[in-house]
Amino acid sequence: MELKGKVGSRMKFKGKEHIVWCLNDYLGFMNHPESIKAGAKIAAKYGPSYPHSVRLSIGNTALHEELEEELKTMMNMEDAMLVNLGYQAFSSIIDALTDRHDTIIYDQNAHACLIDGVRLHNGRKFAFKHNDISHLEVQLRRASTVHDPDQGIILVIVDGLYSMSGEFAALKEIAKLKEKYNFTLFVDDSHAFGVFGENGRGTPEHLGVEKDIDVYVSTFTKAFGNIGGFVAAKEEIVTYLRYAVRSQIFSRTMPLSMVAATLKTMEIFKREPYRRQVLMQKTKMFQDGLRRLGFYIGNTQSPITPVHINGPIKTGVRVLRELRNQGIFSYLVVYPVVPKDTCLIRMVSTFNHSERDIEETLQGFNAIKEKFSVELASLSRIRV
């Protein structure tokens, strides 16, 4: 694969130009020249992977601390800690926050990294149906009958924005339950951080429940087009995590070149807030077009656009192959991520997609609809 130019919405695949719809580079920062220059300057001076140590040894620098201060200020939280890779860190943070005396309750559609963190837990754990507040309360009542609050906590784990459906968590309703039940709320907001909320603080700011979030984690891989991530919480929680998250204290720190690039991206993010508005305008144009063509894309509220396909995997493969024949590149999501006999073509809008990209993609979907008219006739009625 070869990305074309500096735009990032097109690439060459098997010698043919394709419009790319599977980059998680929401705001178009992945190849921003200023961020590239900032990272390259550090890499030229120290090498691309400096510092060559764990953070608690000699892996800390003034730039790491500066980025944490920027994140703490942006998120309006008491403290923030960088993590080198979001997936492993979030699993490990759940492990660090809980022991056998604690109880975990989690949304059954939570991201794989959160599920892996739950698997590490050797205490009680309960799942609740996706975004089903009544079922969450059932599990909270169930947990309360067997949980000793003097011995541990009840940790409720959700995504802020779900990566397959593009839907927000029902955080307002979940937050209200804190008035009745004593639990700690953990939110992985990787797909909403930087995109939603007046200041880009993600789902909690967008839904007006920031004060109810106890532990907030996100990556730089979605809105900021970089590697790494962070956790933000009360100072005492972050201080504890600095010395307890095994995936961080036993692995190398975030490379300084990436830290410098992310700092520059945050600077651009603050001075160019229009990127978020442009992204959502393009998202609306694309999603409205798909709906007009009769494709079912669920209840997405974000740049994540899941095009639902009714039928076995082979049907999804045929549709995906035809999309690529039309010069449209994405990927297929199949069981066990989604139920059996359904598939998703997961499309992600970005700031870098042009109106021409959107129009050509909609033309491609229209051609597919006509080619598979009988097979795809029920697409608009699929419910996953």
Give start-end residues of each CATH 3.90.1150.10 domain in the chain: 2-31+273-381
Cα distances from 363 to residues 240, 290, 357, in angstroms, run 53, 10, 10
Q: Which pLDDT does position 6 carry in this prediction? A: 42
Q: Which pLDDT does position 342 carry in this prediction? A: 87
CATH of domain 2-31+273-381: 3.90.1150.10
Give start-end residues of each CATH 3.40.640.10 domain in the chain: 33-270
Q: Is 147 helix (H, G, I), strand (E, B) or coil?
A: coil
Q: Is 216 helix (H, G, I), strand (E, B) or coil?
A: strand
Q: Which pLDDT does position 383 carry in this prediction? A: 38
Q: Which CATH architecture has domain 33-270?
A: 3-Layer(aba) Sandwich (3.40)
Q: Is 85 helix (H, G, I), strand (E, B) or coil?
A: coil
146 contacts: CB under 8 Å, gap ≥ 6: 103, 124
Q: Is 153 helix (H, G, I), strand (E, B) or coil?
A: coil
Per-residue pLDDT of the chain (384 residues; tens, 9 = 90+): 444 434 568 888 888 899 999 998 999 999 899 999 999 999 999 998 899 889 998 889 999 999 999 999 999 999 999 999 999 999 999 999 999 999 999 999 999 999 999 999 999 999 999 999 999 999 999 999 988 888 999 999 999 999 999 999 999 999 999 999 999 999 999 999 999 999 999 999 999 999 999 999 999 999 999 999 999 999 999 999 999 999 999 998 999 999 999 999 999 999 999 999 999 999 999 999 999 999 999 999 999 999 998 888 888 899 999 999 999 999 999 988 888 888 999 999 999 999 999 999 999 999 988 887 645 544 444 333
Give the span between the Cα atoms of 90 and 95, in whole angstroms.
Answer: 9
